[in-house]
Structure formats: structure tokens, C-alpha cells
């Protein structure tokens, strides 16, 4: 197992944008629904494949070229993304927190060196989940103030380096995080002093496009206050910004691994579901006629859920009900739609409950796919319907002992396009999926139209999952 001794901290610094004036920005209801949720943590691994295998030259290249360029381009990039350079604060006269930047604020950056096995960590094969943790920077949060992002750049001598980012979920969703990373990479790669970002990388910060006639912003703030008091009855600070780490990383005897579905695999899953569509399921999901095609999201989610539940049952981890939680990008679904480069949170969480007997029966894949498809189809008409009842519904389901299965990331983010000038990442992982039973989606690095699925599970469940996953593909 990895330990703190395998990581050497070389530098702690703060990177600030070029001189700019004070800046503040409100948090919308779509931000505040995530107000105390744990940070989203990602790792971007880059290889020194272009250099000779000489550790001295690798280290010199890293410290003389990579680090200075990353620091300088980060500073330039932050002038476009000022909310990230500031903090989340809660003015005493305000019902809700805000973003606040004042000159001198900046992003915490750690430079470190690791003696861990770079190729093992950046590969797809199972690795102890705890080994990724030293590469993830801590995100500060207290009652009075909370950082928005923190960064860590870690050298693996003679192998490569890793950029880790922890992002406050009330500040930005996955799409916005990757926009920031790609903008940083664009500036670094092009080496411009007065950067003009590509239109798709220029953040749209106007919060007025998020309409909230029913006061959902204050409603969600109050919901978080109630939850915080429930978790800690001694809590007396009603304006605390401290993140609720109610989902600590599950690291004991856990493995992290990445599985792939090729384009051919996905087509077989879709075809099987559509072929059996009219012969399976008589529930609410049957009100929808068979679609002409099935989305990659529905096909992948349903296949992986079936494999997870079968794996859990194989190790006698029996649950009466499973909950599938996922987020939906609302940018194009709101009325009127908002710009695709809107920066912040514009995702809404939704849930679909499934019974174990639905999943493990012969046509379980088709039943689960129809249920997820039905849920997604409803969102076309009202993506925010029921959003005010999410806290109550979630609390009720969890108290009943429901096993939640979540999903993070998206194949639409294009994470493997984050090239800082030294090549595309060899691996991008969402480290924070170790805080629950969550699958992480990303497009396949080779661009073949497939999908990568990251998982963290108990080692016994992971072994069972791997066998079920691969055997299932062979029988499609």
C-alpha cells in the first residue's frame, strides 16, 4: 500500500492572476444544490515518452520547463476564471454565499515528487485505491471561507507527471472543470502573454441567465443547514461553509480499475436491448415505444449496473433496492436555453430506483435500460421537475438502506484533449469516485468511439465484477 512517505512535498505556493480589481459573483440554485457536497477530484497523467530514459534529464526538463510554464499559464488563465482564484464566502447580511475575489487571492498549488509506479497508477489494471490519494490536493473549507479549487503537480522521475485538481462542487460542474483545464492547456501550449481563448473555452459568467422565480437558491441553503444540524446537533453556526465529508474515501481493501467498452461492444449492447424491447418489462417504463436507437449513456449505465449488482450478490452483499443517481446537463434543456460555455453548475441530479430481481434475471439488462431510458425521456419536458424534493427523497431512500450507484464524468467532455504542449494525457481519472459506489465515464483515449469506465470497489467485488463484465461481453 502507498503511504505519505512515497510522496515528497517540494513547494507550496499560491498562483494569482495578473493585476485585476475586486470581483464578486452570486451563487445560483444550481450551484447551491451542491453547497456542502464533497469536492470532485481528478488526476491527469502525462508521460515523458518523448525524452530519452535519463532520469536526470527528465527531472531537469520538469523543473526547468514544465513547472515554470504551467505556473505562468495558470496565472494568465485565472484572469478569465476569476471565481476560481477567489473564495466562497458568506456575507453576514446575505441569505446565501457568494464568490469573492480580491487582489492577492489565488489558487493553492503544490509541487511534489513521487516514487510510486507511474505506469501502474496510470494504467487500467486494478491498483490499490489508496495509491491515488497522495496525488490529490486538499481543498480548504471552514465555517467562514472555502477555497474554490486547489492544484498539485507531481513528478514521477523518468516516467512523467500528474496534475491533480480538487474542485468545490458548488463552484463548477464537470463540464466547467474541463473547460478550465483545456483553457489552461491552450494558453500553456501556445505561450501567449495576452491570451485570447477559443470561443468554446471563454467562460460565460453571467448568472442572470439562470432564472429562479421560486427561490430555490435559499431553499437549498436551508436544506443544507438542516442536514448539517442533523449530522452534528452541536453545530450552532448557521452560515458555515464547511464541506460535509459524509462520504470519506472507501480505501480499505479497495481497488481502482478502468474497464473499456469498444464501439463494437456498445453497438451489441444497444442492439440486444432494442431487439428485446417489446418483450421485456410491463412497468411504467413500458409507456415509451421502442426508440430508433439507444444512447451510449443508457447502454453503458445499464450494462455496468447489471454487472455491479451481480458482483455484489456474488459476494453476499444483498440489498433490497438499488438507486441509480445521475446528473443531467441543463444548459440546452432550460427555457430559454443558456450558452454551452456557461461556467458554473448547470447540472441537475436525478434518481431511478431499480429492484435487484429486475437486474439479475435473464433479461435484466433490458429492464434496467428501459427504466433509465424512461427516466431520461421525462427530462426532455421538465428537467427541473421534482428538484425541490431531492433532499427529502434522498434522505428517505438512504434511511431505508438503499444501495446508491452513481455516475460521474461524461464521454462528451473530451478529457483526453487536454494537451499542455507535451502530449495528450495517458490517463484521466476521477479520483473522488472512491467516496461511494460510482462509475466514472470518459471517452476512450484512442478515439475509437468507445468508452472508459472507472470504478473503485472492494477487492472481492472488483474481481467478481471483472469476470462478469468480460463474460457478459462475450455472450452479447
Give the residue numbers marked as catalytic: 169, 419
Q: Contact at 8 Å (CB) between 411 and 389?
A: no
Give the burial string for 158-171 (b: 16+ CB within 10 Å, else e): bbbbbbbbbbbbbb
Spatial separation of the C-alpha atoms in residues 404 and 246, rounded to whole Å? 14
Q: How wide is the angle at C-alpha 177 spanned by C-alphas 247 and 200, nearest 5°?
A: 155
Q: Contact at 8 Å (CB) between 46 and 65?
A: no
The neighbour count for residue 427, using CB atoms within 10 Å, is 24
Ramachandran quadrant class, 231 (left: phi over 0; alpha: psi -120 to 50; beta: rest): alpha
C-alpha cell at 311: 458482483
Spatial separation of the C-alpha atoms in residues 47 and 184, rounded to whole Å? 18
Spatial separation of the C-alpha atoms in residues 404 and 392, rounded to whole Å? 15
SS (H, E, C) 51-78: CCCCHHHHHHHHHHHHHHHHHHHHHHHH
Spatial separation of the C-alpha atoms in residues 178 and 415, rounded to whole Å? 7
Count of positions (residues) in the chain: 476
Residues contacting 264, CB < 8 A, separation 6+: none
Q: Which residue has the cell 523518468?
A: 158
- The residues pairing with 429 across neighbouring beta strands, listed in sequence order, are 43
Spatial separation of the C-alpha atoms in residues 3 and 113, rounded to whole Å? 13
C-alpha cell at 382: 421538465
Edge to edge, what strands does the sheet with 7-15 contain? 7-15, 107-114, 149-156, 160-167, 40-47, 427-430
User: Nearest 5°: phi and psi at 326?
Assistant: -150, 160
C-alpha cell at 139: 481543498
Query: Helices 296-314 and 459-474, interaxial angle, to 10°?
Result: 130
User: Nearest 5°: phi and psi at 12?
Assistant: -115, 125
Spatial separation of the C-alpha atoms in residues 348 and 327, rounded to whole Å? 5
Q: Which helix (H) or strand (E) holds 155?
A: strand 149-156
Considering only CA atoms, which of 327, 400, 316, 324 is closest in space to residue 359?
A: 324
Spatial separation of the C-alpha atoms in residues 289 and 286, rounded to whole Å? 7
Amino acid at each position: 500500500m502507498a503511504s505519505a512517505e512515497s510522496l515528497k512535498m517540494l513547494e507550496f505556493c499560491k498562483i494569482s492572476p495578473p493585476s485585476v480589481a475586486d470581483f464578486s459573483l452570486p451563487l445560483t440554485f444550481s450551484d447551491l444544490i451542491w453547497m456542502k457536497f464533497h469536492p470532485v477530484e481528478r488526476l491527469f497523467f502525462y508521460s515523458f515518452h518523448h525524452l530519452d530514459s535519463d532520469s536526470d534529464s527528465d527531472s531537469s526538463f520538469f523543473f526547468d520547463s514544465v513547472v515554470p510554464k504551467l505556473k505562468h499559464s495558470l496565472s494568465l488563465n485565472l484572469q478569465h476564471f476569476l471565481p476560481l482564484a477567489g473564495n466562497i464566502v458568506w456575507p453576514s447580511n446575505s441569505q446565501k454565499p457568494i464568490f469573492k475575489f480580491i487582489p492577492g487571492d489565488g489558487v493553492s498549488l503544490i509541487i511534489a515528487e513521487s516514487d510510486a509506479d507511474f505506469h501502474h497508477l496510470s494504467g487500467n489494471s486494478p491498483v490499490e485505491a489508496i495509491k491515488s490519494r497522495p496525488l490529490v490536493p486538499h481543498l480548504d473549507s471552514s465555517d467562514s471561507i472555502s477555497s474554490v479549487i486547489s492544484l498539485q503537480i507531481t513528478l514521477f522521475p523518468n516516467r512523467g507527471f500528474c496534475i491533480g485538481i480538487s474542485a468545490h462542487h458548488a463552484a463548477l460542474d464537470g463540464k466547467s472543470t474541463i473547460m478550465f483545464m483545456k483553457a489552461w492547456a491552450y494558453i500553456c501550449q501556445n505561450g501567449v502573454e495576452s491570451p485570447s481563448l477559443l470561443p468554446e473555452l471563454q467562460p460565460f459568467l453571467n448568472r442572470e441567465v439562470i432564472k429562479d422565480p421560486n427561490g430555490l437558491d435559499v431553499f437549498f441553503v436551508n436544506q443544507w443547514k438542516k442536514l448539517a444540524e442533523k449530522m452534528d446537533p452541536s453545530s450552532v453556526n448557521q452560515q458555515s461553509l464547511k464541506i460535509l465529508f459524509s462520504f470519506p474515501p472507501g480505501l480499505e481493501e479497495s481497488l481502482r480499475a478502468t474497464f473499456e467498452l469498444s464501439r463494437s461492444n456498445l453497438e451489441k449492447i444497444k442492439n440486444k436491448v432494442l431487439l428485446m424491447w417489446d418483450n421485456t418489462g410491463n412497468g411504467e417504463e413500458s409507456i415509451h415505444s421502442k426508440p430508433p436507437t439507444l444512447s451510449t449513456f443508457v447502454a453503458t449505465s445499464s450494462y455496468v449496473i447489471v454487472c455491479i449488482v451481480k458482483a455484489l450478490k456474488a459476494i453476499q452483499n444483498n440489498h433490497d433496492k438499488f438507486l441509480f443517481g445521475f446528473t443531467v446537463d441543463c444548459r440546452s434543456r432550460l427555457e430559454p436555453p443558456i450558452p454551452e460555455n456557461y461556467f458554473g453548475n448547470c447540472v441537475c441530479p436525478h434518481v431511478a430506483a431499480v429492484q435487484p430481481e429486475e437486474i439479475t434475471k435473464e433479461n435484466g439488462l433490458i429492464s434496467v435500460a428501459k427504466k433509465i431510458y424512461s427516466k431520461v425521456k421525462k427530462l426532455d419536458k421538465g428537467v427541473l421537475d421534482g428538484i425541490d424534493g431531492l433532499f427529502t427523497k434522498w434522505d428517505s431512500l438512504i434511511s431505508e438502506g438503499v444501495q446508491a450507484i452513481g455516475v460521474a464524468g461524461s464521454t462528451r467532455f473530451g478529457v483526453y484533449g487536454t494537451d499542455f504542449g507535451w502530449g495528450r494525457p495517458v490517463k484521466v481519472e476521477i479520483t473522488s469516485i472512491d467516496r461511494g459506489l460510482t462509475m466514472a465515464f470518459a471517452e476512450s483515449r484512442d478515439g475509437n468511439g468507445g468508452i472508459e469506465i472507472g470504478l473503485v470497489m472492494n477487492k472481492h467485488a472488483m474481481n467478481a465484477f471483472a469476470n462478469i463484465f468480460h463474460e457478459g461481453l462475450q455472450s452479447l
